């Protein structure tokens, strides 16, 4: 049972293509895992006994709960009290046992996901958290992972370049911190082949496709593929250029709007895939 559950959760948080040549590379992004949350899955399966239909239903519903519960921080600081509701014990005698038999709807996930996007956008950031990396990997597996060529070694890429976000101002502070820009949010991250990522440096994909860089053909292959761009929810050329130009003069409003708008699109794509 435990091995089956691990396989299920890894299937949505696994990197689309594991960079086998890198000793430090992780096969799975585990930034949304917790021992208590996982034990609740084991308890829910155990409580279903030999009822295979309940076990299958639980397994089918877990990926949505895996994300939703984390974004609502349901397991943060809960100790053993929340876990104990998933199995019979003296503290819940005579009460219904918690379970994962009720599927979360797309509408429920949309509400949870979009609330989190708005909350996360209030905090200035430039680096990607473990949670954001995990969500970005799940998004890739739900949408554009099939476009990444076998054998590639994907990196986490800032769509609006980190160098622009972290530009030092005359007061010595970084732009993103001074202006409250959420550069490390889910709306500003994607998986991109590592060689392509290094070669294009601070250019976005639209700019790189028109350049003479070593990666321009790889970037062109992405931006000239409407299905790939749509699956990525990648910002359009004009809007992204406007956002970047604004950052150069200290105007962060367009950049923030681009990041939040794409964040909504990314999370709604995950909800569409996992919701009932």
What single string gives the DSSP state of each residue in 129-183?
Answer: PHHHHHHHHHHHHHTTGGGSPTT--EEEEESS-HHHHTPBPTTS-BHHHHHT-BT
Least confident of 81-85, 208-212, 248-252: 81-85
| Buried-state track 110-134, b at ≥16 Cβ within 10 A, e below 16 | bebbeebbeebbeebbbebeebbbb
Q: Is 47 exposed, middle or buried (0-12, 13-18, 19+ CB in 10 A)?
A: middle
| Nearest CA among 31, 51, 44 for reference residue 2 | 44
pLDDT digit string, tens, across residues 47-57: 888 888 999 99
Q: Is the pLDDT score of 20 beyond 60?
A: no
Residue holding tokens 């084991």? 42
pLDDT class of 3 with cuts at 50, 70, 90: low
Other C-beta atoms closer than 10 Å to the C-beta of 37 total: 20
Q: What pairing do the DSSP bridges indicate for beta strands 189-193 and 154-158?
A: antiparallel
SS3 195: helix
| Nearest CA among 132, 141, 112 for reference residue 13 | 141
Q: Quick one: pLDDT at residue 181? A: 98
Q: Quick one: pLDDT at residue 25? A: 52
Q: Quick one: pLDDT at residue 194? A: 77
Q: Quick one: pLDDT at residue 22? A: 44
Q: Quick one: pLDDT at residue 2? A: 54
pLDDT class of 173 with cuts at 50, 70, 90: very high
Q: Is the pLDDT score of 23 beyond 50?
A: no
């Amino acid at each position: 049972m435990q091995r089956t559950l691990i396989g299920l959760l890894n299937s949505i948080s696994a990197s689309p293509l594991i960079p086998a040549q890198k000793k430090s590379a992780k096969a799975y992004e585990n930034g949304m895992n917790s021992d208590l949350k996982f034990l609740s899955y084991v308890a829910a399966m155990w409580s279903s006994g030999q009822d295979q239909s309940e076990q299958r239903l639980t397994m089918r519903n877990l990926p949505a709960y895996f994300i939703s519960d984390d974004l609502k921080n349901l397991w943060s600081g809960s100790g053993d009290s929340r876990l104990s509701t998933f199995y019979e014990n003296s503290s819940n005698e005579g009460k219904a046992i918690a379970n994962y038999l009720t599927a979360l709807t797309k509408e429920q996930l949309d509400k949870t996901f979009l609330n989190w996007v708005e909350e996360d956008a209030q905090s200035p950031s430039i680096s990607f958290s473990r949670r954001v990396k995990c969500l970005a990997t799940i998004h890739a597996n739900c949408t554009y992972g099939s476009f990444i060529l076998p054998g590639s070694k994907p990196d986490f890429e800032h769509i609006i370049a980190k160098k622009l976000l972290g530009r030092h101002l005359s007061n010595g502070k970084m732009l993103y911190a001074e202006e409250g820009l959420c550069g490390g949010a889910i709306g500003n991250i994607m998986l991109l082949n590592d060689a392509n990522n290094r070669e294009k440096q601070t250019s976005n994909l639209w700019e790189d496709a028109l350049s003479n860089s070593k990666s321009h053909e790889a970037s062109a292959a992405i931006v000239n593929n409407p299905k790939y761009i749509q699956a990525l929810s990648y910002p359009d050329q004009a809007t992204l250029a406007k956002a970047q130009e604004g950052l150069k003069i200290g105007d962060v409003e367009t950049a923030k709007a681009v990041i939040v708008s794409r964040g909504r699109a990314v999370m709604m794509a995950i909800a569409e895939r996992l919701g009932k």
